[in-house]
Amino acid sequence: MAKPVDDTTLERQPTMEPPAAPRGPSAYLLVIAGPSFGEMHRLQGNRSVIGRADTAAIRVLDDGISREHAAIERDGGKNLLVNLGSTNGTFCNGTKVERQELVDGDKISVGASTILKFTYQDQIDERYQKRLFESSLRDGLTSTFNRRYFVDRLNTEMRFASRHDKSLALLFIDVDHFKRINDGFGHQAGDHVLAAVAREMIATIRAEDVLARYGGEEFAVICREIERDGALALGERLRAAVAGARFEYEGRVIPVTVSVGAAVARKPQQAQPLIAAADAAMYEAKRAGRNRVSFHE
């Protein structure tokens, strides 16, 4: 029998707050050219620094970017572009500037190739721009980054590693016997496995690592400032995460493992040798029996 409702209890419940009013247009910087193409940054507070430093509000990893290159400062109702003594200068609509008020549509150039557009967006515009940005960089099936973004980001990370004398690690991960999964369980099951494997890896890598679908059943991870032992340790965590997960599709359990190849470069100059080394290591892992990690010396 249902318990009777206590009317006095209902009366004591707090009333629901009305939904917040939509936020008016806010100032943004859209990256319309350069390695960070498509990124969208809402300007918050009275000062937003543009630069390559980890502490920069708008972080840009491009050649010729100073640690604190420029800033957008609020002055009353105005937004001012301020050069912060950058080595290569700050440009607005093609003109080198030290301090200039921004208007909607102004284009800010910094570094070798980065252009940022100053604009005002409302919440609807913001959501649309973010969806557009995500769709241009993400693989539709696995939600990992796509190959185009991988190539661009690898070149950016190589320049960073070379400039700062840091190491850069690259891991290639291939789903073992993927053709057997497709043939034995169907292509939809294969897609399900790829998406599930990607989720396991996303949960395993560091926040600063970049996971991309390189092609087919093959993934790649870019790892900044990791040496040989760290690359092998990450590869083993990825291998173990997949091997220890349960993959099931329409009531059928699918056994899944991965082979991982790792390579590390110090001050890399070209992407292809690092890609080739990680790829060779992955095939070494497959030849050695699969479900293991190999490092290319």
The two structure tokens encoding residue 57: 């509000």
The two structure tokens encoding residue 243: 């091997």
Q: Which residue has the tokens 């991309």?
A: 212
Element containing residue 77 per DSSP (H, E): none
Strands (E), 122-217: 167-175, 210-215
Please name which of 262, 191, 257, 259 lies closest in space to residue 221, comparing C-alpha atoms.
262
Can 225 be counted among the known catalytic residues?
no
The two structure tokens encoding residue 34: 């350069």
Grouping H, G, I as helix, E, B as strand and the rest as coil, residue 177 is coil
The two structure tokens encoding residue 233: 């340790």
8 A C-beta contact, residue 291 and residue 204: no
The two structure tokens encoding residue 99: 């301090």
The catalytic residue among 11, 217, 250, 284 is: 217
Kindly list the catalytic residues: 217
